[in-house]
Amino acid sequence: MAPQKNIALREAIRRGYEAGKRVQQIADETGSTYGSVKVLASKMGLRHPNPDRGGGDRKRGFSIPAELREDYFLYRIKGYSAAEAADALGIERASA
């Protein structure tokens, strides 16, 4: 890759991360791959400011209220399943 193009790509990645764009979106806009963007961002020391890591809610089938989050994870550390911890705390779960 030519040095000038590399500088432009790195600048585009930096701007994308600062704007909070998703990695795939940055890759699409720069004509690069997801992996390349991740590697370059890592080498530049970039991290997303506030990554949305809400996948757990989809896996569990329910959301944990902020005021119960600490208690929920204490139950989980003690060996309770996600469903058992939710039941113990009175968190309403979606029926299967």
Q: What residues does each domain of the chain span?
A: 3-43, 56-89
Spatial separation of the C-alpha atoms in residues 85 and 12, rounded to whole Å: 44
Residue 2 has pLDDT above 70, yes or no: no
pLDDT over 90 percentage in the chain:
52
Task: Provide the 8-state DSSP code for 77.
Answer: H
- Residue 94 CA, distance from chain mean position: 23
Mean pLDDT of the chain: 85
For the stretch 62-95, pLDDT in tens is: 888 889 989 999 999 999 998 899 999 998 877 6
